[in-house]
A and B are shown apart, each in its own frame.
Chain A
Amino acid sequence: MKHGKTLSWMVVLIFGAVLAAASPASAQFPERAIEILVPFGAGGGSDTAARAVVEGMKPQLKHGVVVNNMPGGGATKGMLYVAQQPADGYTVLAVTTSHLIDAVKPKTRAHILNDFDPLCRIQWDTSGVIVAGDSKFKTLAELIDFGKKNPKMLKFAGTSPGGWSEIQTVAFFKEAGVQVTFVPFDSGAEIKAAILGGHITGAVEELAETLPLINAGKLKALCVIMDKRHPALPDVPSSVELKVNYDHGLMRAWGVKKGTPPERQKLLLDVIKKSLENPVYVKYIQDNHLDVRPGFLGPEETRAYWGSEIKFYTDVLTELGYVK
């Protein structure tokens, strides 16, 4: 078996590498480049976020940082890849809300809480309830009122069925006492085109991408989903202000494989924390309105936050019938 032989050589090599990594000589972690694994394609939200942080990490690490995009299977493929690497701190996963939702589903291939240690949360995005600029609904109250009288007649678009987009749409309206029909599309661009063309009532979407169309009056935000008003939309009430007790948002965090030595986790955390103050990153979050709510959470707070979010998603997904 030629294959078997190669495999056994690889095992020996990897074992050797692990040994070498664990030997006292490697006190100077990191000895080579840190790999940041982004489980989405280049150019997307997660990718630009990761790259903005990496800009600030580069000058701090002698051997550099490499961003590796591994799209596929939602964000599962990249997560599995990191779970299969040695727990030596050289591979860092860019964690997103999709990983937390994955943890709810019965078919989970790797579990974000059981197989990973969080380093920190870096972003907590804000969504809004968006309708067309010429929509007959002028306020959230009108929309909710119509929805209560006509169950399932409000059609809301989103991406990812059974994922974040559906959860935030359905859970928000459930909190408001309305049953809506969720219609999944492939991309944010298609959703916006469908709203502009009057094919669908609206969407619950992250605000940054929709702001240009809102400012032009083509789209309209009925409420922003957080505890206070959004600085870019001072006239739009917040959900908490309107007594809809819901302020969840899309999050981005960083994590390493469980069992990574604590001092390495500490070092990575310090490096990341410092790069969040880098001007490139600060400009990026300002441009994308990601500084509206404080995003940073330390490792233990992130773990607790992940735990409570997963519990929340479990409830929503059970109700929707995705989890039995």
Chain B
Amino acid sequence: MFDLYWQAFTTVLMPQNLLAMALGSLWGLLAGALPGISTSMGVVLILSFTYTLSPMTAFVLLIGAYLGGITGGSITSILFGIPGEPSSVPTVIEGYSLAKQGKAAYAMWVYLLCSIFGGLFSVVVMIVATPLIANFALRFGPAEYFALTVLGLSVVSGLSGGSMLKGFLSCFFGLFLATVGTDGITGEERFTFETVTLLGGINFVVAMVGLLAVSEILIEAEEPFKEYKGGVEYRGLMRELPPFSLFRKYWLTMIRSPIIGTIVGALPGAGATIASFLAYGEAARTAKHEPEKFGKGAVEGLMAAESANNASTGGSMTVLLSLGLPGSNTTAMLVAAFMIHGMQPGPLLLATRPDIIYGIFVAMLLTNLLLLVLAGTAIRLFLELNRLPYSIFSAAIMILCVIGAFGISNSVDDMFLMFAFSIIGYFMRKCGVPVAPCILALVLGDLAELSLRRALLLSGGSPLGLVASPISIVLLAGALVSIVYPIFKKPKMLAGA
């Protein structure tokens, strides 16, 4: 066992592998930070360079790109308010609010430290308990997935800010948006207006960029000469380092979020996005210190989302390495990489190629540490941009948004759709309807609907099938508490104070 780790360490620490790790991580950070390139696209683009590399070098490179992408997605989220990845939406909500208050550097530190903590946490869990996590993930059938999404949706109350009524309005709009596209159970077309663009449904990123980033610019454009606070109060990175007491204060979130992240990341139907939303929602729901700050720059929300987001990588890899099942598009690319190098990811891989498995463990560990340095440097460069006046800054954001929406599937239609969402988002903000519940519902809606219908197909139409296992009972009970509790606690919220 220790021999294998020792061997893995010496292999990964060879100069060509370290170089591959650094290049992969840098590329991943860049791909994740650019809205037009998702983590999975980043991994695909680099995959074609691995044909001629030795297997270990190839995996070190790809893991660098994977972890770098997940980490980099949040840089643009905090600084520009553009979600580089669907999983960074909670980061946009809290991190960008902090940046607007002139706390960009502080938010960056929190994000970076929590990301790396989450990543390392999940790697350690993965090394210690791969079979355990994988078996637990397998116990999630359609009924359990449904219960999980209900729990996810139930945190709307925590995301609604002032009025729960408006929060639910936004949530139901999101659920409606999730029904657009080809019905996953019958193959019927719904609300597609005979266009090909909408056949695949509304792309998360298109909707999010419109609702969050562009609508924000529209709002800000009402006051063209306002000075951007981020540029004024920025004091240099080292002076903004958050004190350790911050993490002690929110220790519960710091422990709970990576656990949520690792488990949800291991579910093939869920992944990083749902993990970060669930952890964020849990933090919002149970916040003891300053719950009113959620949606307006709550550090705790940022911590929860970021640590869960990065912890999902370990969860995903657990199922990939022990069962050969890719939980996300990105890990599906890693399957392709295994095939290119003549290996079949699956239960037998540990027996046939332990060197690769242990090498991957070690590479993930080291990549997380390397990212701390690389992302720290990248953040410093990015923060310089923050000194620009908002009028110029917002134009740059707008360009990135357009490129991002177009880049997802090289489609001009997606670009127009993004602008349509920006106008919807503008009016939602004007009416005080929070945008976050809508996005949460859009992300979870599809999985919620499909897993409900799958569960009913499996139980022959009987709703009892939904509460047949302890996992789903616990999750649904949690959801019930989270919906009912705030109503009793603050009856005024329903009225829309």
Contacts and interface: CB of A to CB of B under 8 A. Distances in A.
Interface of A: 41-44, 48, 70-74, 76-77, 80, 107, 109, 152, 155, 160-163, 181, 183-187, 189-190, 192-194, 196-200, 211-213, 215-216, 218, 287-288, 322
B176 interface: no
Contacts of A183: 142, 454, 457-458
Contact of A70 (B183, B184, B326, B410): B410
A215 B324 CA distance: 12
Contacts of B47: 43
B325 A74 contact: no
Contacts of A192: 323, 325
A109 B196 contact: yes
Interface in B124-160: 137-142
Ranked 8 nearest A-B pairs via Cβ: A212-B346, A199-B141, A73-B199, A162-B187, A216-B347, A197-B138, A161-B187, A189-B325
B44 A43 contact: yes
Contact of A213 (B139, B189, B196, B346): B346
Given A70-B410, A192-B325, A76 B199 contact: yes
Given A160-B187, A161-B186, A200-B458, A42 B44 contact: yes
Given A183-B457, A184-B454, A193-B268, 10 more contacts: A43-B40, A71-B409, A72-B411, A73-B200, A74-B199, A76-B199, A181-B458, A185-B269, A211-B344, A213-B347
Given A74-B182, A107-B189, A189-B325, A199 B458 contact: yes
B200 A186 contact: no
Interface in B257-273: 267-269
A186 B187 contact: no
A44 B196 CA distance: 21
Contact of B196 (A77, A160, A197, A287): A77
A187 B328 CA distance: 10
B327 interface: yes
A42 B41 contact: yes
Contacts of A212: 324, 344-349
Contact of A72 (B41, B189, B197, B332): B197
Interface of B: 40-41, 44, 47, 137-142, 182-187, 189, 194, 196-197, 199-200, 267-269, 319, 323-327, 329, 332-333, 336, 339, 342, 344-349, 409-411, 450, 454, 457-458, 460
B192 to A, nearest CB: 9
Contacts of B411: 72
Contacts of B454: 183-185
Tell me which of B332, B333, B454 has the highest count of chain A C-beta atoms within 10 A of its own C-beta.
Answer: B454
Contacts of A70: 409-410
Nearest to B410: A70
B199 A77 contact: yes
A322 B187 CA distance: 9
Contacts of A200: 141, 458
Given A183-B458, A211-B344, A287-B339, A194 B185 contact: no
Given A43-B47, A183-B454, A72 B187 contact: no
Looking at A48, A74, A198, A216, the one whose CB has the most chain B CB atoms below 10 A away is: A216
Contacts of B268: 187, 189-190, 193
B333 A215 contact: no
Contacts of B196: 72-73, 76-77, 80, 109
A161 B200 contact: no
Contacts of B139: 197
A193 B325 contact: yes
Nearest to A218: B347
A97 B236 CA distance: 58
7 contacts: A42-B44, A43-B329, A48-B339, A72-B409, A152-B460, A193-B269, A199-B142
Looking at chain A's contact residues, is the secondary structure mostly helix, strand, loop, or mixed?
loop
Nearest to B344: A212
Nearest to A51: B48
A197 B323 CA distance: 12
B141 to A, nearest CB: 3
Contacts of A109: 196
A126 B267 CA distance: 28
B14 to A, nearest CB: 27
Contacts of B319: 193
B141 A186 contact: no
A222 B185 CA distance: 26
Contacts of B409: 70-72
Contact of B199 (A72, A162, A196): A72
Contact of A216 (B40, B199, B346): B346
Nearest to B197: A72
B336 A194 contact: no
B142 A194 contact: yes
A77 to B, nearest CB: 5
Contacts of A197: 138-141
A175 B327 CA distance: 34
Most buried by A among B47, B333, B457: B457
Nearest to A194: B141
A43 B336 contact: yes
A276 B158 CA distance: 58
A160 B182 CA distance: 10
A184 B332 contact: no
Contacts of A186: 184, 269, 450
B281 to A, nearest CB: 23
Contacts of B137: 193
B327 A189 contact: yes
Nearest to B342: A287
Nearest to B324: A212
B185 to A, nearest CB: 6
A130 B139 CA distance: 19
A43 B41 CA distance: 9
B40 to A, nearest CB: 8
B413 to A, nearest CB: 9
A287 B337 CA distance: 13
A41 to B, nearest CB: 8
Contacts of B40: 43
Contacts of A288: 339
Contacts of A42: 41, 44
A70 B267 CA distance: 28
**Among A43, A71, A72, A192, residue most surrounded by chain B Cβ atoms (within 10 Å):** A43
B184 A161 contact: yes
A48 B44 CA distance: 11
A40 B45 CA distance: 15
Contacts of B458: 155, 181, 183, 199-200
A72 B141 contact: no
Nearest to A187: B268
Nearest to B459: A155
Contact of A162 (B140, B141, B186, B450): B186
Contacts of A187: 268-269
Contacts of A198: 141
Contacts of A163: 187
Contacts of B333: 43
Nearest to A287: B339
B185 A184 contact: yes
A197 B182 CA distance: 27
A87 B442 CA distance: 40
A110 to B, nearest CB: 10
A185 B138 CA distance: 15
